[in-house]
A and B are shown apart, each in its own frame.
Chain A
Amino acid sequence: MKEKNTVHVKTIVAGNLRATASSGGCRECQTSCQSACKTSCTLGNQACKR
């Protein structure tokens, strides 16, 4: 069967945020304000330790 492809929309990053609702919460990741910012955190730039 021919694989369907999009024409006008190209996925750059496929996120899985919803799935982490059940798999996450281990708390091993960096505490955001312990990073470079100290005043203005962007939490999305923290890495998951898993």
Chain B
Amino acid sequence: MLLDVQTGSLHAIDEAAWAVLEALEQADGGPLSLDSVGAVRPLPAETAGGHHSLDLQWVQEVLDDLDLLMEQGVLTYPDEPDTDVGELGPGVLKAMCLHLAHDCDMRCGYCFAGTGGFGGARALMPAKVGMAALDLLVEASGHVRHLEVDFFGGEPLMNMEALCRIVQHGQELAESTGKVLKFTVTTNALGLTDEIGQFLNDNGIAAVLSLDGRARVHDAVRRGVDGKGTFAAAAANALKFVNSRKGGEYYIRGTYTRRNLDFVDDVLFLADMGFETISFEPVVAEASSPYSIREEDLPDVFASYDRLVGAMAQRHAAGQGFRFFHFDLDIAHGPCLAKRLMGCGAGREYAAVTPDGKLYPCHQFVGRPGFEMGDVHRGIIRPEVGEQFGAAHIYAKPACRECWARFMCSGGCHANAHQMAGSLHQPYAIGCAITKKRLESALALKALTS
């Protein structure tokens, strides 16, 4: 495959094209000519059986192909400066993550939220704080019509009374302002009763349900307050709820660690259970953690993604496909360049709200010193915090500027960068390696199923 980074075009190439492109790369971006190729690989080369040889006619055909693609605007050669999108301007707040509960009914070994408390006291968000947050969101969102609110924790279902009142308030705000508010709840599913499921379905609330796959994998990390595994209860609740959705949006979200580098088997296990939309993420953990993914683990991680591509292509062909969040690339109709430049929007378009109403750039920055931005009553009172994030775009990060994945990854997770390198401008290298492999896999699956 050939990805044209700057237009976002994807091409399938044969071995002759591969060989010519490889020669051109070695020629260090010389002109598209026989001379450039010949400077690296003598021409004409042997042609007998010639899959890897550079037959003169083939080379000319490939060069003609590349010329045509350039005429069509789907190939850039040599690389040009990345397109300038002009002044990005100040951020417009349009999404909030409400920490309904800094408490949890589980005690997961890898929890980045300190098993719910985010390093502070356990607390529930009063409904009036969440309602004030929505008021702020609607006011600050300006011309943007589509707004998003995620109920997060800890475990947000521990605070259902507030959740219901905040949803009702949001619906009233939508009615009076013409804004469209989309709600999502991220839950461990342990407390997902029929009654709660009915409320989520009736109010069109999307759900992200945490399950780590095979029972032994899940139970080794995702334990209850009593120390026992939670798979049986959480999986049963999740499956019952998903089957009740009738098309309602959901994702099963798993976390993989260095203890299940064969996580492809967990993804397929969940697909076999009947879940049709699945996302799996590498754990966020300090390098010293027994769960953290290390450089020496990457070959196994990559092998899992390779196997997942093969399995998904087979299931797709058999009419038994499922969706894997990170492989869902819609290359032709993806985000605009401005969006790709800015990435996740933390601190500019997105803020997390703590139970006592404090604002942070995102859920992972909650509690980190120096990142408090304001509160739901006064709004953003430290805009300089968000400005740091605005300045950390992909054109400003040395590691991103030269990376082929820059317009699909958009610079990676700021929280991971800050946690691992202490800087928003230095992406987390292992995260980059995984992201690039995941994108390669997504492109391969696209080619196999197109």
Contact = CB atoms under 8 A, between A and B. Distances in A.
Contacts of A48: 333-336
A46 B339 contact: yes
Interface string B1-28: 1101011111111101100000000000
A47 B331 CA distance: 9
Contact of B336 (A10, A24, A37, A39): A24
Nearest to B84: A21
B135 interface: no
B344 A33 contact: yes
B335 A34 contact: no
Interface stretch (B197-205, B297-305, B439-447): B439-447
B413 A41 contact: yes
B231 interface: no
Contact of A21 (B338, B364, B431): B338
B97 A17 contact: no
Say what secondary structure dominates the interface of chain A: loop
B61 A17 contact: no
Given A41-B410, A42-B435, A43-B409, A25 B336 contact: yes
Given A14-B332, A28-B145, A9 B84 contact: no
A9 B255 CA distance: 38
B339 A29 contact: yes
Interface residues of B, number: 93
Interface string B349-367: 1100000000000111000
Nearest to A42: B326
A28 B17 CA distance: 40
B279 A37 contact: yes
Interface stretch (B40-48, B62-70, B216-224): B62-70
A31 B74 contact: no
A8 to B, nearest CB: 4
B294 interface: no
B120 to A, nearest CB: 20
Contact of B11 (A11, A18, A35): A11
B95 A6 contact: no
A43 B410 contact: yes
A1 interface: no
Contacts of B145: 28
Given A6-B69, A31-B350, A44 B344 contact: no
Contacts of A13: 8-10, 331-332, 446, 450
B337 A21 contact: yes
A36 B7 CA distance: 27
Interface in B413-450: 413, 415-416, 431, 434-435, 438-439, 442, 446-447, 450
B208 A45 contact: no
Contact of B326 (A27, A33, A45): A45
Contacts of A21: 83-86, 336-338
Contacts of A44: 329, 331, 334-335, 340, 407-410, 439, 442
Contacts of A37: 253, 279, 281, 325-326
B196 interface: no
A6 to B, nearest CB: 4
Task: Give the interface centre of B337, B346, B350, B450 by most chain A CB atoms within 10 Å.
Answer: B337
Nearest to B97: A34
Contacts of B150: 34
Contacts of B434: 40
Nearest to B251: A36
B311 interface: no
A13 to B, nearest CB: 4
Contact of B148 (A9, A30, A43): A30
B326 to A, nearest CB: 5
Nearest to B284: A39
B338 A36 contact: no
A4 interface: yes
Nearest to B336: A24
Given A15-B332, A41-B413, 10 more contacts: A8-B14, A8-B17, A10-B11, A10-B12, A11-B10, A14-B7, A20-B336, A39-B413, A44-B407, A48-B336
22 contacts: A9-B2, A9-B11, A9-B13, A12-B10, A13-B10, A16-B8, A17-B407, A24-B339, A25-B85, A27-B92, A27-B339, A33-B362, A35-B251, A35-B325, A38-B281, A39-B415, A40-B434, A40-B435, A43-B408, A44-B329, A44-B331, A47-B334
5 shortest interchain CB distances as A-B pairs = A24-B336, A15-B8, A44-B408, A31-B95, A36-B279
